[in-house]
Every structure is written in structure tokens, then in C-alpha cells.
Structure 1
Amino acid sequence: MTQHLSLREATPADLPFMLSLAPRLTVTAPAWRDRDALTADYEDLFTGALHEPEEGSAVLIAQDGEGRPLGFTLLYWNPKERSAFVKDLAVTGEAEGQGVGTFLMEAIVAWARARGAAEIMLKTSWDNTRARAFYERAGFREDHVALVRRLE
């Protein structure tokens, strides 16, 4: 499938597509997390990223040869640390296992290199073994362990 993929910058019209993938980003969250609340939080995040993007950030859409979006990534640039941060990367269920994630990862690497990045960082749920294996194949290595204590 990758031979028919193209990449473009997202527009505000992509918000419904991105929101449709929010449940895929939260499905492997730890059981103690409120997955519905996490999914709902993506509306503000994605709306901001598309309508009032942070300086140096980008939302990239992978699409098929007919222009149908198949996945996206939300990226942030930290010039002081020369570091790119992958906030989110998601593909549709239909596109899973078809090379779309790899296509997006290649775009992320190119985006980071174009800015002179020394590294790319990302986070994923510990229980998301499929994503962890994907990122390992893409050259990522474990670095930090994040622990969270909810204050209610």
C-alpha cells in the first residue's frame, strides 16, 4: 500500500477524521484511566493543533491515491533541545498493518531531520505491545519510565 500513499499537512477540515481515531489512541490506556475522558480530551488538543498550532508544530496526514486519509501524526519541535516529539500517531483500522504507520514514521524522521533534530521522542502505553514493537522496529529504544499519580 505504501506506493500509493502521499503526505500532506492537515487542515481544520481534518478534525473529524482525527477525532475518529482518538479511541485508537486510548484503547490501551491503563485500566485505572478513564478512557472516555481521555478520548474526549482529544477534541481540545486536535482543535488547537489545527486552528491555533504551536510554533514549530505540525499535523501530517497520510492519504491513499484517492485522497482518503488513512492516518496522521501530531508533532512538536523543541529547538532548545533539538528534539522532535511525536505526540500522537494513529492509523485507521483498515490501514493497520498496511505500511501507513511506517510511511508516517519515515515522514516524522524527515520532518525532524529538516529541523536539525538530534533525537525524536515519543510516549506510548506500556501495555500497547503492538505500538512498542513498531517503535522498536523503527529504531526507538526505551529511555524513561513515566509514573503517574492521580490527584483527585
Structure 2
Amino acid sequence: MPHAPEYTLRAGTPDDLPFLTSLAPRLVATAPAWRDQGAMLAEYPPLFAQALHDPGDDSAVLVACCPLGRPLGFTLLYWHPHERGVFVKDLAVSEAAQGQGVGRFLMAAAEAWGRQRGAVELMLKTSWFNTHAREFYAHAGFREDHVALVRRLD
């Protein structure tokens, strides 16, 4: 097995906004056809800007970088102290870095971030139609728990 590159982890900064936004299409690519992907994409820049400019104690943007410092992926995390859990709001890896262990590296970082706060679980949501992500998370030890049902009101 080839040696995996050494990734570094750092907190996201406002300078990372273009990188995070560039990965937003990967986050909505498997949305069902009835979802408005344009509207979904439009929600990401302000969400990411707030997370990067005003990261309270209850949230973090963690960025995985290659040995030269180039960002490869990120995760946006929220701490829920009453549930003693970390919610993985988003996790995305650049297309060029996919399949190289960056997602696993970020999941380990999310777990460490949660453990530092006393978390007993990581939680996340992904599209039912995103079979690649569902397989990734199952391989990482996640189990299906809740089922979200959606009815559009327009």
C-alpha cells in the first residue's frame, strides 16, 4: 500500500471563503430533482462567511491541507452541549483530493474536536441519494438513525 501523504489541519479563516464556496456544488450535487440546487447553493456563501468570520465556541471550520499548505477539504462543525454531540454540518473534499484519505482525516479531526468538548456522538445528515457519502459514513462507523421526510410548501 502506498504511503499516504501527511495532511495538516488548521482552523478556517476568512481567506478560505472562496475555497469553501468552490466546494459547495459538491455538497448539493446529489440533491433530489425536486430541490432547487441554485437556491441551495446561494445559502452557502453567507453560511460559510459567518462560520469563518464569527466562529463562536460552539462551531468550527477545520481545513485539511496538503504538505505544501494547499487546502484539500473542510468540515463545518457545531457543538450541541445539551445533547453532548457534534453536528457535522458539512464535509467536502476537492475533486482532485477525493479518494486520498482527506475525508477520513477530517472525520478524525471532527471526532477529536468533539472529544475535547466531552461529546459522546457525532451526528450528520446527508442526502439519501448520495450513495457515495452514505457508504463513506457507514465505513466510518456511522449508523442510520432518523429518517427525514420533506414536503415542499410552494
The match for 1:40 is: 42
Which residue of structure 2 aligns with residue 122 of structure 1? 124
* Aligned residues between the structures: 152
Determine which of 82, 100, 104 is the counterpart of 2:102: 100
Can you list the C-alpha shifts for 1:3-61, whole angstroms capped at 9, x where unaligned? 32100000000000000000000000111001111011101110111112344100000
Instruction: State the partner residue of 2:76.
Output: 74
Q: Map Cα deviations across residues 88-109 of structure 1 (whole Å, 9 max, x no partner).
A: 0000000000100011011111
Paired with 2:72 and 2:94, the residues of 1 have a C-alpha distance of 6
Counterpart residue number, 2:18: 16
RMSD of the TM alignment (CA)? 1.0
Any unmatched runs of 5+ in structure 1?
none
Normalised to the residue count of structure 1, the TM-score between the two structures is 0.97
Q: TM (normalized to structure 2)?
A: 0.95
Partner of 1:86: 88
Q: Which of 141, 144, 149 is the equivalent residue of 1:142? A: 144
Q: Aligned partner of 1:51: which letter?
A: H
Name segments (4+ residues, structure 1) moved above 4 Å.
none
SS in 1 for 2:115: helix
